[in-house]
Structure 1
Amino acid sequence: MLETSARLLRLLSLLQAHREWSGADLADRLGVTSRTVRRDVDRLRELGYPVHASPGTGGGYQLGAGAELPPLLLDDEEAVAVAVGLRTAAGQGVEGIGETSVRALAKLEQVLPARLRRRVGALTDFTVPMLRTPRERVDPEVLTELANACRDSERLRFAYRDHGGAATRRTVEPHRLVCTERRWYLVAWDVDRGDWRTFRADRIEPKPPHGPRFPPREPPADDLAAYVSKGVSGSAYATEVTVRLFVPLAEAAGVVGPMDGVLEPESEGTCLLRAGAHNLQVAVVHVVLMGLDFEVVEPPELTERVRDLRDRLSRALARTEGETAAGS
């Protein structure tokens, strides 16, 4: 049985290495008869590998694409290349693939031999990509450790720095990693505080050993991306504001990112933006720089800050126009 299994893996590796093989060539490479090759091909098909066969003297065997992705065999160089690519995608926060990259990276690094892990680490550490990067880089090893804890429903212990720089120790039941364009967040049940919390991954320093296992809880929201967005763009700040944007929701979504605030539909041509800031003055600048027409909904004090900014800009414009007129 062991010999047959090893031969099947070797056959699969050969089929992945070249587009097409003749039966005679495969038999020669494997040291078996053509009849054994045919039986082994049938076993691969039973395992879900779509091996196509074409008859005749010019025919042969070819590994095709199937309805589902079967396990792949990678040699050392291919495994290193894939791991480095996944780390790059995860670290850059590429929209739409960041979380998927971490899940795939966690699976791959779990089976990578130590010698390949060292090669992947060296390539990652000594490569500087000329890409748009988040402000705070997250160690891919930390991300994979968090992803594995979420997958295995295993309690996680870590040191954490809050937004004020204060250090705490946390024990949590991790649920999901959520990726925005600029940052990674861990959504988890805080055991000591008895409530759901959102943690920035770049501020997490895991403190193993982890465990024990726990039964998964109902998540705090069906849409975890919206849940995290609401938390990090509003409630985490001292001041929260709501403004009405005079553009359709879809158009506003092209300008307002998850870190900027939470959009809510209102009418065909308007939507609401709820955002947070350290103070009202910062909130005004934040909204103005989006380049969209708006009006203040709440708080009323925000309207006064808008007037102050209008008057300041008017004075600056008047001075500039006056100097231009005097110079001419």
Structure 2
Amino acid sequence: MPKTSARLLALLSLLQARRDWPGALLAERLEVSPRTVRRDVDRLRELGYPVVAFKGPEGGYRLDAGASLPPLLFDDDQAVALTVALRTAAATGAGIGESAARALTTVRQVMPARLRHRVDALRITAVERTGVPPRPQADPRVLLALSSAVHAGEVLRFGYSPAYAPAAGDGGDAPPVRRVEPHRLVTWGGRWYLVAWDLDREDWRIFRADRIEPRTPTGPRFPPREVPGGDVAAFVAARFQGSEGPGAWPCRGEVILDAPAGEVAVHVRDGIVEEDGPGRCRVVLGAWSWAGLAADLGRFDVDIEVVGPAELRDAFARLARRYAAAASEAP
């Protein structure tokens, strides 16, 4: 049986993980008797943690939230997870890098020496691509406002800046006000987006959160809708691929490459790679345009046989003419 202090920490960690815990299940997870669980719950209450019992077929416990809740304790795995999350927060595009760094400093100060040494050993740096302009950061207050509207199911009004907004003082028009039924807040490629039903355009739209200026108050509540296909992640991925259908590129072709499948597969995103004889493989891949697909396949720098369709073969021919013209130009 674990020592009492370690067992109390494990019990507290379990109570934080889900709302309701049957007493028998807690005893099983902690490998103790139900009577020991009851005694440990009483000890947590003496320390100020509002653990309440609930009745039912099994009966159990829950950790209530409240202003009197003492500082939460973390086991080793939770401390490591929290450190990783805070140190990589700057790469999420949520504009919370400085706040995350201060939070990590605060959390580290209250950790026991054993855990401090462990989290200090985590050397994590979010590296930005060189030569690429930094992505605009979404205002955390905007993200909270959007998330609140999604949770409440209330119509949201906001100003939406265009991709290339006029500089301050240029006298540009104020961004148009959009009215939407917010569905989900998602992150994609280091940016935050709002997936919503546009009431004026009567269609689904994806808005960049860093261009949104929420207006108050919010509108009336609305009955929830389902995104096409029912899967928000698949819907967003399809829209960024340029497709109206979930999970499908608008251009998809098949080729045979003179390269082993194992060497090609590690560089193919969401395509299909199959062996097609010694040193050859069959690749089915998609892209947002036929020229983009041909260029993507050409980067393998091996002989290519186009299986189909004809649009992909034509795209290779166009690129070949352009590349030949570029190669013949004088310096």
* TM-score (norm: length of structure 2): 0.49
TM-score (norm: length of structure 1) = 0.49
Which structure shows the bigger proportion of residues in helix conformation?
1
